[in-house]
Structure 1
């Protein structure tokens, strides 16, 4: 298709639609005309995308249609369908795409935590670095358990703190260093605490207090770390796309992960705030944590698999993301 000839033929319609979208008021005939032109220009955009996908023309028509759609439908109508689509399509798709990255981050984290725990439990020098005998006894017998204080303010504090950590892991993932540093630091701290509790004969208490909320909370941290590292990899190995294009696409999709994790972390915060430190039986606490984790995994894997099979990535649609120049490969 000759794009210049196509533009010359349909340019007057594009300019007329642009003129109508900028008017403060439309009479009845103009309102009918803007609807007719909107439908015509939507067809033109489809034709350009399929036959001559020039980024400038596609962006121009996409912007024009967006303004016309707002003028026709109104700017203040609640877009509940967009919210639902984000929750049941975009977020699961983004989570599903990084599932193997999440698996490897989980394996690495647990390996480091176990090494740190065994070192503290078996190496006298490492154990001594955890504090004096009196400090260790106070931590094991009082401080560790008393941290989990069942109340709403504690749950809210845990939620906001973990959401902030996840947001940093994704946002600074492009550096390739920040996710590794944060994950390594947390793995060593968790492992060392477990090793200290084990050395003092309280490994069971440690697992009872960590497992109820930690199953979901740590999984969210692993997912956020995986998203950050995947963003870094898009910069290192962009494939056939230009590096800036790859970073932009993955960045938009993976920020979806950070936003989506806030819901899972809210659930984890409620478990930590009201279940972990409660008087419930230990097996019931762990069962509640396992159910919360299972719900999250089902959400990410079942809905995510369906969304990815339908071609979703978690990125914005073409109209909102903007057009890019096609590349071979």
Structure 2
């Protein structure tokens, strides 16, 4: 191809396309049609140039021109409040509901492990001695001890922010590390249940299990639910790597990874509420029954949110992934 002849033949079209792209006012219907036609022709010109006579300067100009024209033709999609509303009313609860068969068994098994650890510690003084010296354990479990003062040791707002940050990091790690064969997720989950089991065992051995549960339940119901959801979905992500099902492994990991990312964002909001309960309700002067009732009400509201909105969305075909226009169409594959 003679490059000079090619440029002479088509430079007027490129100049016209550039002029249309520089227009400040809204294009008329005829100008918009012309812009689309020139964009298509220039794309073809760039393809021919790259395959036959890749002149760097001309290639750079046409590449920039095609990119600008494509942006003008297709438009850039902007996030809106409607996207946020769709996420919290449809995508997030649908993802949590769809994957309930992973996080509910995770919750049951984890709480069973915590209860068994608590019983083992409470029933065996030698295990308690391995945890700490008797005077240290008494300082932790006595009335006004460390277990009770922990929740009021810092200003409520600062404490709530710290709790939220720590819990959000744990949830994010569960979701992200699920891709690594899920082993790190099990370790994080075990560490959480070990801490809970130690508290149950030590306070039970001191005859103050009711006090401990009164401190844990107001915020712990919602907090642990978020952790179990993150761990369950992290395990599901790890299992997808092993068994992607009828989807290709790449497609399955992409879908489940996007879902996990969305769940992480949604759980950050859940943990924000849990942190507020831990910072303001747990150490408050309210009676134990009132504090536990507030925590139970928050937990019930979240479960209803997941089962009502999420169940409805899943039955309507929602999977908790991005909206169809925001994700690439899967390529057809042979069965």
Q: Given the two structures, how large is their TM-score scaled by the length of structure 2?
A: 0.78
Aligned-partner SS, 2:231: helix
Shift of 1:286: 0.4
The superposition leaves residues 91-127 of structure 1 with CA deviations (integer Å, 9 ceiling, x where unpaired) of 1111111112111101111111011101111112211
> Which of 155, 167, 170 is matched with 1:162 structurally?
167
| C-alpha contact (below 8 Å) 1:254/1:314 kept by paired residues | no
Distance 1:180 1:97 in 2: 21
The superposition leaves residues 268-297 of structure 1 with CA deviations (integer Å, 9 ceiling, x where unpaired) of 111110110111010000000011101111
Query: Does 2:146 match 1:143?
Result: yes
Residues 119 and 36 of structure 1, relative CA distance in 2, 3 Å threshold: same
Count of residues paired in the alignment: 283
Aligned-partner SS, 2:131: coil
Aligned-partner SS, 1:147: helix
- Which residue does 1:27 correspond to in 2? 27
Query: Does 2:267 match 1:261?
Result: yes
Residues 327 and 272 of structure 1, relative CA distance in 2, 3 Å threshold: same
Shift of 1:130: 1.7
Greater mean alpha carbon deviation, residues 24-33 or residues 113-122: 24-33
Aligned-partner SS, 2:202: helix
Distance 2:334 2:108 in 1: 36
| C-alpha contact (below 8 Å) 1:34/1:68 kept by paired residues | no
> Which of 271, 292, 310 is matched with 1:304 structurally?
310
Shift of 1:192: 1.4
Distance 2:193 2:119 in 1: 13
> Which of 239, 251, 272 is matched with 1:233 structurally?
239
Distance 1:255 1:67 in 2: 30
- Which residue does 1:128 correspond to in 2? 129
- Which residue does 2:57 correspond to in 1? none
Residues 67 and 99 of structure 1, relative CA distance in 2, 3 Å threshold: farther
Distance 1:235 1:24 in 2: 48
Greater mean alpha carbon deviation, residues 305-314 or residues 22-31: 22-31
The superposition leaves residues 252-282 of structure 1 with CA deviations (integer Å, 9 ceiling, x where unpaired) of 0121111100111111111110110111010
- Which residue does 1:179 correspond to in 2? 185
| C-alpha contact (below 8 Å) 2:177/2:234 kept by paired residues | yes
Gaps of 5+ in 2: 1-13, 38-68
Which protein has the larger Cα radius of gyration, Structure 1 or Structure 2? Answer: 2
Shift of 1:241: 1.5
Shift of 1:68: 3.2
Aligned-partner SS, 2:235: helix
Distance 1:285 1:107 in 2: 24
Distance 2:278 2:265 in 1: 20
| C-alpha contact (below 8 Å) 1:97/1:308 kept by paired residues | yes
- Which residue does 1:42 correspond to in 2? none
Query: Does 2:112 match 1:118?
Result: no
Aligned-partner SS, 2:331: coil
| C-alpha contact (below 8 Å) 1:240/1:327 kept by paired residues | no
Distance 2:305 2:151 in 1: 28
Residues 300 and 28 of structure 1, relative CA distance in 2, 3 Å threshold: same
Q: Given the two structures, how large is their TM-score scaled by the length of structure 1?
A: 0.80
Query: Does 2:81 match 1:83?
Result: no
Shift of 1:81: 1.0
Moved over 4 A (4+): 34-37, 64-67
The superposition leaves residues 190-232 of structure 1 with CA deviations (integer Å, 9 ceiling, x where unpaired) of 0111100000111011000000000100000000001100101
Distance 1:88 1:100 in 2: 21
The superposition leaves residues 238-257 of structure 1 with CA deviations (integer Å, 9 ceiling, x where unpaired) of 01211111111110012111
- Which residue does 2:255 correspond to in 1? 249
- Which residue does 2:58 correspond to in 1? none
